[in-house]
Amino acid sequence: MSDTVDFPPTERTRIKRLHQRAHYDRETVHAILDAGLICHVGYVIDGQPYVTPTMYWRKDDRVYWHGSSASKMLRHLGTGPRVSFTVALMDGLVLARSGFHSSVNYRTVMAYGNAELVSDPEAKLTALEDMMERIVPGRWPDLKPPSPQELKATTVVSLKLEEVAAKVRDGGANDEPEDLALDVWAGVVPTTTVLGAPIDNPDLKAGIPVPENLKLIRFG
Amino acid sequence: MSDTVDFPPTERTRIKRLHQRAHYDRETVHAILDAGLICHVGYVIDGQPYVTPTMYWRKDDRVYWHGSSASKMLRHLGTGPRVSFTVALMDGLVLARSGFHSSVNYRTVMAYGNAELVSDPEAKLTALEDMMERIVPGRWPDLKPPSPQELKATTVVSLKLEEVAAKVRDGGANDEPEDLALDVWAGVVPTTTVLGAPIDNPDLKAGIPVPENLKLIRFG
């Protein structure tokens, strides 16, 4: 992580408290985005905030997500409203000698802006291919290509990464100096997301092996 | 999971598409909330949606979260605005024979309502104890108790679970019948969050063992 500022902080993205955890450089932002698979998109309808967890992927300085064209979220986001985009990866429980200094290790990215509909059919198809390439590199050419009806039923939206910041907490507990002598254990319990062994679909055609490219899945 | 309706769906919580994934019973909602540790809280300031990932805990039909009294989120939420509260646990990547039917297995809870400040000092202290009991059962009595200053610097807010629904996807890929004959592997790659071995704090006093109660940490 560097002190480079590729994304100048705004009133919304400037991290005021614990500012040593803030990062505004492209390398840190991209690394966190490329480690995650699930984002939380925030939007407002009639004054009520909504938060939808969904899969996302990044290309250059843009993140994308998709879903059913019939979904309330995507029908709304297709109109280009303000959104917030959050990715949060938990790395560990930080157990201090006091509850007050107990914490969580994490990597987050928060971005703000207006959602943009990916309406051009070729751009939409490329985006869906990019998504599969993110999940299982090399799997796309094996799949049945999307039909025109499937493409129509799928909405893809994107957000340009302009107003964006990363926030990272790592390391051990930061107790008060006078508490270090207490007879209390302090430290970190790491948390990691792991992949299990692939499970064949019940209706899998006989003789089809688990593809090698599932080993290329990476996240967390 | 049952078909019981403990939380009658509202316009916001009724799941319209894929409604077989929806659950409005207390048992399912509580089980998901008790498995997660991180929620995403959505709120609106000056028309801009914000989403903050943070640790939460549940007691009866209420969820709680906390943070620095100086944080923008908690200063705002202390005024009792509308919020959305989302917990999302990813259980696997669902790889179908088409991109269109590829999906994610997940358990989510979404709740809506007005945030409520926990202002009574005793209630706040109890809530913080409940939080630690959620993270590491039995650890609270070992810790240095919060000082009046620490309590003042900590804001706790809660949300009553009234307008709430769970949504769960599990099982394999649901391809089109005509695609089952394709020579494409389909199935699920499970994802799980696991705990690593505890790491002693660098400044840990000599001779303090890793406490047994760390084995009681459970989530995911």
For residue A129, the enclosing domain spans 19-91+104-172
Check if the beta carbon of residue B125 is closer than 8 Å to that of residue B64. Answer: no
| Per-residue model confidence as pLDDT tens digits over B185-205 | 999 999 999 999 999 999 999
Judged against a pLDDT cut of 80, whether residue A2 lies above it is answered with no
From chain B, pick out residues whose CB is under 8 angstroms from the CB of A66: none
A128-173 confidence digits (pLDDT tens): 999 999 999 999 999 999 999 999 999 999 999 999 999 999 999 9
Per CB-CB distance under 8 Å, the chain B contacts of A147 are: 100
Spell out which residues of chain A touch residue B136, defining contact as CB-CB under 8 Å.
93, 95
A138 belongs to a structural domain? yes
**CB neighbour list of residue B182: distance below 8 Å, 6 or more residues apart:** A144, A205, B97
Residue corresponding to tokens 């540790």: B37
Can you give the pLDDT at residue B124? 96
Q: Which pLDDT value is given to residue B1? A: 62
* Among A11, A15, A38, A40, the residue to mutate for chain B (most B Cβ within 10 A): A40
Tell me how far CA of residue A144 lies from CA of A19, A134, A169, A181, A205, in angstroms. Answer: 48, 18, 42, 63, 15
A59 inside domain: yes
Query: Who among B153, B205, B209 is closest to A180 (CB)?
Result: B205
Q: What is the ipTM of this complex?
A: 0.96
pLDDT band at B18 (very low <50, low <70, confident <90, very high): confident
Which of B96, B154, B208 minimises the CB distance to A100?
B154
Which residues of B are less than 8 Å from A142 in CB distance? 184
Q: Give the CATH number for residue B31.
A: 2.30.110.10
pLDDT of residue B17: 80
pLDDT in tens, B123-166: 999 999 999 999 999 999 999 999 999 999 999 999 999 999 99
How far apart are alpha carbons A192 and B14 in whole angstroms?
A: 33
Instruction: Give domain status of residue A53, yes or no.
Output: yes
Instruction: State the smallest CA–CA distance between residue A188 and chain B in angstroms.
Output: 5
- In chain B, residues with a C-beta closer than 8 Å to the C-beta of A173 are 201
pLDDT by residue (tens digit) across A182-216?
999 999 999 999 999 999 999 999 999 999 999 99
Closest by Cβ to B142, choosing from A52, A146, A184:
A184
Position A16 scores a pLDDT of 82
CA distance B73 to B66: 10
Structural domain includes residue A72: yes
Interface test with B, best of A72, A110, A143 (most B CBs within 10 A): A143
Task: Answer whether residue A41 is part of any domain.
Answer: yes
The most distant pair of C-alpha atoms in chain B lies apart, rounded to whole Å, by 68
pLDDT of the residue at A3 = 82
* Structural domain contains residue A29: yes
Rounded mean pLDDT, B92-104 = 97
User: Chain B residue with minimal CA distance to A216?
Assistant: B189
Q: Measured between CB atoms, which of B110, B150, B193 is closest to A193?
A: B193
Q: Is residue A11 part of a domain?
A: no
Helix-strand-coil percent breakdown of chain A, rounded to 5? 25, 40, 40
Q: Which long-range contacts (CB under 8 A, 24 or more apart) does B201-204 make?
A: B201/A172, B201/A173, B201/A175, B201/A186, B201/A187, B201/A188, B202/A172, B203/A172, B203/A175, B203/A180, B203/A186, B204/A185, B204/A186, B204/A187
Identify the pLDDT of residue A1. Answer: 62
**pLDDT for position B156:** 97
Summarised one tens digit per residue, pLDDT across range A26-67 is: 999 999 999 999 999 999 999 999 999 999 999 999 999 999
Domain count, chain B: 1
Q: Which structure tokens are listed for B215?
A: 């084995």
Q: What is the mean pLDDT of residues B98-114?
A: 97
CA distances from B166 to A12, A17, B28, B86 (A): 31, 34, 7, 10
Whether residue A115 contacts residue A80, with contact meaning beta carbons closer than 8 Å, is answered with yes
Round to whole Å and give the CA distance between B5 and A65: 32
Rounded Cα–Cα distance for residues A102 and A98 (Å): 6
Could you tell me if residue B9 is inside a domain?
Answer: no
Dihedral of the alpha carbons of B117, B123, B125, B129, in degrees to the nearest 10: -100
- B103 is written with which tokens? 């999906």
